[in-house]
Chains A and B, each alone.
Chain A
Amino acid sequence: MFGAALIVFRESLEAALLISIVAAATRGLSRRNFWIAVGIAAGLAGSLVVAGLTERIAELAEGSGQELFNAAVLGIAVVMLGWHNIWMARHGREMAAQAKSVGHAVKSGQREMSALAILIAIAVLREGSETALFLYGLAAGGGSSHASMLGGGLTGLVAGVVAGWALYSGLARIPLRHFFTVTSGLILLLAAGLAGQMARFLVQGDIVRPLATPLWDSSSLLPMDSVIGNVLHLVAGYDARPSGMQVLFYVLTFLIILAGMRWSRTLTPRTA
């Protein structure tokens, strides 16, 4: 019961963090909730499929299939987040200024939101497939009754959603002037962190070389299983013992997206 609650809470919190940051960053975009719902639903459906196929996926590419799959999923998420940030760097202020304006901002809003739905689906897919697999294992192991497992799973899910909602409410309270700066910053860190994770999977599957194992070890200063370490890991991709390749992916992603945002800001937005 407790095990199920804890695992589901942890996984749903990871997805909820990403969703709430994205939701906060897209306040005021038309039909935002619809697209977010689509993303969550698609992700959940995908999770069940992936959980059923895990063995097959892992058998591919000589046992490195899981890593390749994870890395691909993360890669798509990084591109989506980066693109969102670059796009918002130009349109964010404009949209805030003329909130509720119709015309091309809304149209581009639609396009933008369908991309974000994909991003959310990917986040839910990743966490959801792990959760589904774990619960399936608990059920197959017969260690606990279905009722207590479902109860635990639901408890964890609700707790994760509540935590995500709390974060969203906190973000939504930031005055509009600083709002885009804060959410862009969060998304930038999130994207770089996911790129680092991607490198980790590629190293684990021997698809790229680690360069240094580890590049540094800060586990005595800030361990991964401490509360702060875990939060930093989720939000900014902190790792106590990263490989050189992980840091390289992180830094490059951070710089590329930042450069994109700067460039995007210099373009004069078309006014309707």
Chain B
Amino acid sequence: MKALVFACLMLPVAAIAADLEASLTIRNHQFSPAELKVPAGKKIKLIVQNQDPTPEEFESHELNREKVIAGNGKATIYIGPLQPGKYPFFGEFNEKTARGVVIAE
């Protein structure tokens, strides 16, 4: 019940604005840019382009997101609004090489 009341209090007045976009590319099982700077406190439309022929799963515990991106495909993932800080992410199918961080400031 407490959560419910809290959630209702959190309902902001809907603002109609164009989404802020940011983009990432996967190539050779690596993300570029590896450091993605985004404004804090805003909803971001993150577009991930996979240029490898193999699928990848974009995953981040810090951002609370996971999404499979088909080989040579692209995906849209909405993130935020974020507090200022660093939010690491990785590709679950190639965890050793596919690593990056979103920096909200």
Chain B residues positioned under 8 Å from A244 (CB to CB)? 3, 6-7, 10
Identify 16 new A-B residue pairs, CB closer than 8 A, beyond the known A58-B70, A133-B70, A204-B67: A55-B73, A63-B76, A140-B71, A204-B78, A206-B43, A206-B45, A212-B6, A213-B64, A213-B82, A239-B64, A243-B64, A244-B7, A244-B10, A245-B7, A246-B64, A248-B4
Is the C-beta of A214 less than 8 angstroms from some C-beta in chain B? yes
Is the C-beta of B81 less than 8 angstroms from some C-beta in chain A? yes
B62 pairs with A241, CB closer than 8 A:
yes
Query: What are 12 A-B contacts with C-beta separation under 8 Å?
Result: A7-B92, A58-B69, A58-B75, A64-B76, A66-B75, A205-B78, A206-B45, A219-B62, A245-B7, A247-B3, A248-B7, A251-B4
A212 pairs with B10, CB closer than 8 A:
yes
Interface size (B, Cβ < 8 Å)? 37
The 8 Å CB contact of A211, one of B10, B47, B56, B78, is B10
A-B contact count (CB 8 A): 98
List the interface of chain A (C-beta within 8 A of B): 7, 54-55, 58, 62-64, 66-67, 130, 133-134, 136-138, 140-141, 200, 203-206, 209-215, 219, 223-225, 239-248, 251-252
Nearest 6 pairs of A and B residues by beta carbon: A63-B76, A137-B54, A55-B70, A206-B78, A137-B55, A141-B54
List the interface of chain B (C-beta within 8 A of A): 1, 3-4, 6-7, 10-11, 19, 43, 45, 47, 52-57, 61-62, 64-65, 67-71, 73-78, 80-82, 92-93
Mostly, the A contact residues are helix
In this complex, the member of A63, A133, A206, A246 whose beta carbon has the largest number of chain B beta carbons within 10 angstroms is A63
Docked pose: A240 CA to B74 CA in angstroms: 28
Chain A residues positioned under 8 Å from B92 (CB to CB)? 7
B54 pairs with A54, CB closer than 8 A:
no
User: Nearest Cβ distance between residue A4 and chain B, in whole angstroms?
Assistant: 10
B54 pairs with A140, CB closer than 8 A:
yes
The 8 Å CB contact of B68, one of A7, A133, A239, A243, is A133
Docked pose: A241 CA to B67 CA in angstroms: 17
User: Nearest Cβ distance between residue B46 and chain A, in whole angstroms?
Assistant: 10
B3 pairs with A248, CB closer than 8 A:
yes
B61 pairs with A240, CB closer than 8 A:
yes
